[in-house]
A and B are shown apart, each in its own frame.
Chain A
């Protein structure tokens, strides 16, 4: 289990919170390294679940077509003090989660 890979910022205004997240992850598509010729296997986040106060509100399904160190923003009906939690899992079975109080 990875840790500390997710940074969340969430701010509510008028009953809607914009959640912004940055995740540290290589998001590798299978390919050959240009200089060494070494095969680089696929390594990317497949699924990211967002929970609001413990209840799932959004699920993102990804391919390796999402950029390295993924950025994601979405909007959820929520207020300051609510808790948003993000959990990701990649194709190698690694995962991480983090939560943040909406300000």
Chain B
């Protein structure tokens, strides 16, 4: 009887410890997974992906620069840098319409970060790389055409 009681007590203690760890944000993987916007990444059209991220109808902006090569010999590795002088940047999102998954990456920014992101992406065909920037509650964009010699989405 007493042994059983001990086991139950131990179990309860262990359970509550995990609960505390989760609520304190110590178990980041769970929190991390929940935030990944599946609908946006499964969208086959750029417009649907942007809508799912609340980035509908972006306005062209001269305050965003998209740096990428004019010609990418290898579509599997295309360096892209986005820089913006817009204030209060909330997010920077990269899309490529002709990719099997048009939404490539979305970066949630904070007041601690500057409007700058540099990464390397895959491009399936010659197309525009579009950078959508949400800043001060408004949605802006800029784009850059990249000619792709060998597509990078087949592996």
Contacts and interface: CB of A to CB of B under 8 A. Distances in A.
Mutual binders A and B: yes
A87 B113 contact: no
A47 B103 contact: no
A93 B72 CA distance: 32
Nearest to B155: A31
A47 B112 contact: no
A79 interface: no
A58 B109 contact: yes
A49 B113 contact: no
Nearest to A87: B28
17 contacts: A29-B153, A31-B154, A46-B32, A46-B36, A58-B109, A64-B101, A65-B104, A66-B105, A68-B76, A71-B119, A71-B120, A72-B118, A74-B107, A75-B116, A76-B113, A87-B28, A95-B32
B35 A47 contact: yes
A103 interface: no
Using C-beta atoms within 8 Å of the partner chain, give the interface range for chain A.
Answer: 35 or more
Using C-beta atoms within 8 Å of the partner chain, give the interface range for chain B.
Answer: 35 or more
Nearest to B154: A31
Interface of B: 28-29, 32-33, 35-37, 41, 76-79, 81, 96, 99-101, 103-110, 112-114, 116-122, 152-155
A38 B117 CA distance: 35
B123 to A, nearest CB: 8
Contacts of A29: 100-101, 122, 153, 155
Contacts of A65: 96, 99, 101, 103-105, 121-122, 153
A54 B78 CA distance: 32
A13 to B, nearest CB: 12
A66 B117 CA distance: 13
Contacts of A58: 107-110, 112-113
B36 A61 contact: yes
A81 interface: no
Contact of B106 (A52, A60, A73, A93): A60
B39 to A, nearest CB: 12
Given A62-B105, A75-B114, 13 more contacts: A28-B155, A34-B155, A61-B105, A62-B104, A65-B101, A65-B153, A66-B120, A67-B77, A70-B120, A72-B118, A73-B81, A74-B114, A89-B28
